[in-house]
């Protein structure tokens, strides 16, 4: 049944969307040149199987919440880059509405969905409280099940998801990467630009790799210093454990200094964040079940995460496993204990003495911390609590740096442009140190700063706190330049 736009929004009403989406008969959809607030469908007539099936399709009610006001536009990185309506949140919601009305899942439609970074800045900006995060996640799961990608795209995605969610496999790359740098090949590739011309995806991966440090893995149990205030399980992560082990070590020391006994089971694995953010729902569910099984045996009071993207997914395990009768209640209990590091430290309040760090710091809001989790004040309060530390704001903080999980690997050119914009904003602060709470952001901004021929030290929030608690002075952090 054809569905027409009403209410001047360009999105079909919820009852019509539900009626169309619940039909089991393939339907055609005809749009008569509808134009609403810059969204145009030029007399397209399509026939075939509807875009979405009945297994967790995007919600018609959530689609109808969008009034296409445009508040999201200036915060959306792809709209900022291209000014293309269908590469804005309201444009993608319009496409989702068309899919629910019966339009097939075209290559063009998938392209616009793929281009979304999933930064969720639009969720923060939306005055109507539209759950775009839920809509794009459910849509991507449909895309992964129902859309046939090209051979190159399939191969790249298969390689990414055979590597990134597996910490042991990532750690195996450390040796070859170190040899590549020591051989001089990295400098040659940078000087000639040959790698970027011939293999832009590989060039992006090479540019993102951080300086490797040999840091021992933390033990399975670390006692609290002084009276124990909490028993805390800790996620070591995939990229974090392989390429930023010093961040994990700093996190453990900070937690112990603040009276937390820290539990780090060595058999833990990926949390599933990359998988769920890219529509690989079944894979994410497998990772989630495994992590719940490992940590629910510990008797922990809290589960601490020091990577923003991981934390946002962990806090949604209850939704991810809601249909699983064996895990639904266990997932809800687990989710209730999840805390970002800054969030938990703010809840507990300071116990250990902060020593001065006389230096200037720019704090970058990781998207999945600020927008997905709503955690903005806690990290800044922790940094301001350090004597002598001056915190400087970054312009346009709501615009993503272009990392977005593996988005920068799948979309190297626009990701580099977003990274360059962020690097310019960071360097304009004149700060000595950039601080953020996500490994992807650290790698993305560092690569962009190097492209600019500039230098700035980078650190995780945990490392700054650790340096203050241990009275190391600014030199311990500025050495990362």
Residue 439: its H or E element: helix 439-451
Tens digits of residue pLDDT in 249-277: 999 999 999 999 999 999 999 999 999 99
* Residue labelled with tokens 């392989």: 242
Q: Do 365 and 476 contact (CB within 8 A), yes or no? A: no
Please report the pLDDT score of residue 100 as a whole number. 96
- Over the Cα atoms of the chain, what is R_g? 23
Please report the pLDDT score of residue 11 as a whole number. 44
> Which whole-number Å values give the CA distances from 6 to 10, 29, 44, 156, 395, in the listed order?
7, 16, 18, 41, 38
Selection from 26, 28, 264 nearest residue 146 by Cα:
26
158: Cβ–Cβ under 8 A, 6 or more apart, which residues? none
Please report the pLDDT score of residue 167 as a whole number. 87
The tokens for 137 are 């996640």
The alpha helices in 9-120, defined as continuous H runs, are 14-22, 60-65, 77-82, 89-100, 107-114
> Which pairing describes strands 35-36 and 39-40: parallel, antiparallel, or unpaired?
antiparallel
User: 463-467, long-range: CB within 8 Å, 24+ apart, which pairs?
Assistant: 463/246, 463/247, 463/250, 464/357, 464/361, 464/383, 464/386, 464/389, 464/433, 464/435, 465/250, 465/254, 465/345, 465/382, 465/386, 466/250, 466/253, 466/254, 467/357
Q: Do 288 and 272 contact (CB within 8 A), yes or no? A: yes
Q: Do 456 and 427 contact (CB within 8 A), yes or no? A: yes
Please report the pLDDT score of residue 227 as a whole number. 93
Tens digits of residue pLDDT in 78-127: 999 999 999 999 999 999 999 999 999 999 999 999 999 999 999 999 99
The β-bridge partners of 338 are 303
Please report the pLDDT score of residue 84 as a whole number. 95
The β-bridge partners of 458 are 434
The tokens for 167 are 């910490």
Angle among Cα 17, 18, 22 to the nearest 5 degrees reads: 120
Neighbouring C-alpha atoms within 13 Å toward the C-beta of 198: 6
Same fold, 221-346 and 353-478: yes
Sign, CA torsion 469/474/479/481: positive
Report the C-alpha gap between 422 and 442 in whole angstroms.
Answer: 11
Tens digits of residue pLDDT in 120-142: 999 999 999 999 999 999 999 99
Q: Do 141 and 102 contact (CB within 8 A), yes or no? A: no
State the first-to-last Cα distance of the chain, in angstroms, to the nearest integer: 61
Selection from 436, 248, 250, 224 nearest residue 348 by Cα:
224
> Which pairing describes strands 359-363 and 433-436: parallel, antiparallel, or unpaired?
parallel
Q: Do 374 and 243 contact (CB within 8 A), yes or no? A: no
Q: Do 358 and 389 contact (CB within 8 A), yes or no? A: yes
Residue 262: its H or E element: strand 260-263
Please report the pLDDT score of residue 31 as a whole number. 32
385: Cβ–Cβ under 8 A, 6 or more apart, which residues? 350, 354
State which CATH number among 3.40.50, 1.10.10, 2.40.30, 2.60.120 fits the domain covering 221-346: 3.40.50
Please report the pLDDT score of residue 315 as a whole number. 98
State which CATH number among 3.40.50.300, 2.60.40.10, 3.40.50.11810, 3.40.50.11260 fits the domain covering 353-478: 3.40.50.11810
Report the C-alpha gap between 112 and 105 in whole angstroms.
Answer: 11
Three-class DSSP labels, 105-145: CCHHHHHHHHCCCCCCHHHHHCCCCCCHHHHHHHHHHHHHH
14-146, CATH topology level: Fumarate Reductase Iron-sulfur Protein; Chain B, domain 2 (1.10.1060)
Residues of the chain with pLDDT under 50: 1-14, 16-47
Please report the pLDDT score of residue 327 as a whole number. 98
Domain-by-domain residue ranges, the chain?
A: 14-146, 151-208, 221-346, 353-478
Give the three-class secondary structure for 151: helix
**Exposed, middle or buried, 77 (CB in 10 Å: 0-12/13-18/19+)?**
buried
């Amino acid at each position: 049944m054809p569905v027409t736009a009403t209410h001047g929004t360009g999105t079909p009403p919820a009852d019509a969307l539900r009626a169309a989406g619940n039909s089991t008969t393939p339907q055609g959809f005809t749009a008569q040149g509808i134009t609403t607030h810059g969204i145009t469908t030029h007399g397209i007539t399509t026939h075939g199987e509807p875009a979405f099936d009945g297994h967790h399709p995007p919600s018609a009610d959530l689609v109808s919440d969008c009034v296409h006001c445009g508040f999201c536009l200036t915060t959306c990185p792809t709209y900022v880059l291209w000014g293309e309506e269908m590469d804005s949140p309201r444009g993608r919601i319009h496409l989702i509405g068309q899919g629910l009305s019966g339009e097939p899942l075209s290559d063009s439609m998938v392209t616009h969905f793929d281009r979304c970074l999933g930064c969720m800045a639009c969720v923060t900006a939306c005055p109507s409280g539209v759950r775009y995060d839920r809509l794009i996640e459910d849509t991507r799961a449909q895309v992964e099940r129902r859309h046939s990608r090209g051979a190159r795209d399939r191969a790249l995605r298969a390689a990414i998801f055979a590597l990134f969610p597996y910490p042991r496999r990532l750690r195996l790359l450390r040796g070859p990467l170190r040899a590549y740098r020591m051989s001089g090949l990295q400098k040659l590739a940078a000087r000639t630009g040959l790698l970027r011309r011939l293999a832009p995806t590989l060039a992006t991966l090479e540019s993102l790799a951080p300086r490797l440090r040999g840091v021992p893995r933390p033990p399975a149990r670390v006692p609290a210093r002084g009276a124990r205030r909490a028993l805390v399980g800790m996620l070591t992560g995939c990229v974090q454990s392989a390429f930023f082990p010093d961040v994990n070590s700093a996190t453990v020391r900070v937690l112990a200094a603040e009276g937390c006994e820290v539990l780090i089971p060595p058999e833990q694995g990926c949390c599933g964040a990359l998988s769920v953010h890219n529509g690989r729902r079944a894979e994410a569910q497998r990772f989630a079940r495994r992590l719940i099984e490992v940590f629910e045996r510990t008797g922990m009071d809290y589960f601490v995460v020091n990577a923003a993207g991981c934390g946002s997914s962990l806090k949604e395990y209850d939704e991810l496993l809601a249909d699983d009768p064996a895990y639904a209640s266990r997932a809800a209990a687990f989710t209730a204990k999840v805390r970002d590091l800054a969030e938990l430290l703010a809840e507990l309040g300071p116990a250990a003495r902060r020593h001065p760090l006389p230096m200037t710091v720019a704090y970058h809001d990781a998207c999945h911390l600020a927008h997905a989790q709503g955690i903005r004040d806690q990290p800044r309060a922790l940094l301001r609590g350090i004597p002598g530390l001056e915190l400087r704001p970054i312009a346009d903080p709501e615009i993503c740096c272009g990392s977005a999980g593996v988005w920068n690997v799948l979309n190297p050119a626009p990701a580099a442009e977003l990274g360059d914009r962020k690097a310019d904003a960071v360097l304009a602060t004149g700060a000595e140190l950039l601080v953020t709470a996500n490994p992807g952001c650290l790698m993305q901004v560092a690569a962009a700063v190097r492209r600019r021929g500039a230098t700035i030290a980078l650190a995780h929030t945990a490392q700054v706190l650790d340096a203050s608690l241990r009275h190391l002075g600014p030199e311990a952090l500025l050495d990362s330049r």
